[in-house]
Amino acid sequence: MNNTGPVAIQSGRVAIAGDWHGSISWAQSVIPRIHREAPDVDTIFHVGDFGLYPEAHSKGFLAAIDFWCKAANIRRVYVCPGNHEHWGELTKRFDAQPGQAVQLSSVVWVLPRGYRFTVSGKEWMSFGGAASLDREFRTPGVTWWPGGVATNADVDHAIA
């Protein structure tokens, strides 16, 4: 696990993506398309439900992301976690290095709540998670984690 302080991206353009839900087939379709449509993009910001699930699944998904990003000259993917991520694991990683982005693979970095960064001189903030509308169909600790819902303390930290 690697960590980094504030991210500062000088790229002229970035791609915004979301809701990959750990789908390798979707990633292997979308990442090359980003490169075809915008070859100058070298950064993807993924804004929720990336697919950070239990270890065995995530390793294969992250390896596929690394492969397709390398093929498309995409150097980094920054993930703002969604409500359908393994928040139990994410919380442990964020707690180990408060306020830091955490590297999950050669190109994938996950951003904690309230994480501020700049893109071409403009400030942004990651504030991941949300309530799960389908919680009744999920299993706590397996397909749903209470850490996905932001607390008042998370909000206070973000606006401080």
Q: Are 112 and 79 in contact (CB under 8 A)?
A: no
Domain parsing of the chain, residue ranges = 2-159
Distance (Å, whole) CA 50 – CA 88: 15
Distance (Å, whole) CA 122 – CA 110: 20
Q: For the whole model, what pTM was predicted?
A: 0.90
Predicted confidence at residue 82, as pLDDT, reads 94
Mean pLDDT, the chain, rounded, equals 90
CATH class label, 2-159: alpha beta
Predicted confidence at residue 145, as pLDDT, reads 87
**Residues of the chain above pLDDT 90, percent:** 68
Q: How confident is the model at residue 152 (pLDDT cuts 50, 70, 90)?
A: very high
Letter for the amino acid at 158?
A
Distance (Å, whole) CA 104 – CA 127: 18
- pLDDT higher than threshold 80 for residue 8: no
- Tell me how crowded residue 87 is: count the other CB atoms within 10 A of its CB: 22
Predicted confidence at residue 15, as pLDDT, reads 96
Predicted confidence at residue 1, as pLDDT, reads 40
Residue 149 to residues 39, 123, 138, Cα–Cα distance (Å): 36, 24, 15
- Tell me how crowded residue 45 is: count the other CB atoms within 10 A of its CB: 20
pLDDT tens figures, 49-80? 999 987 656 789 999 999 999 999 999 999 99
Predicted confidence at residue 121, as pLDDT, reads 84
pLDDT tens figures, 86-132? 999 999 999 999 989 999 999 999 999 999 988 888 889 999 999 99
Rg (CA), the chain: 15
Q: Are 89 and 78 in contact (CB under 8 A)?
A: no
- pLDDT higher than threshold 60 for residue 83: yes
Q: Are 34 and 20 in contact (CB under 8 A)?
A: no
Mean pLDDT of 125-140: 92
Predicted confidence at residue 17, as pLDDT, reads 98
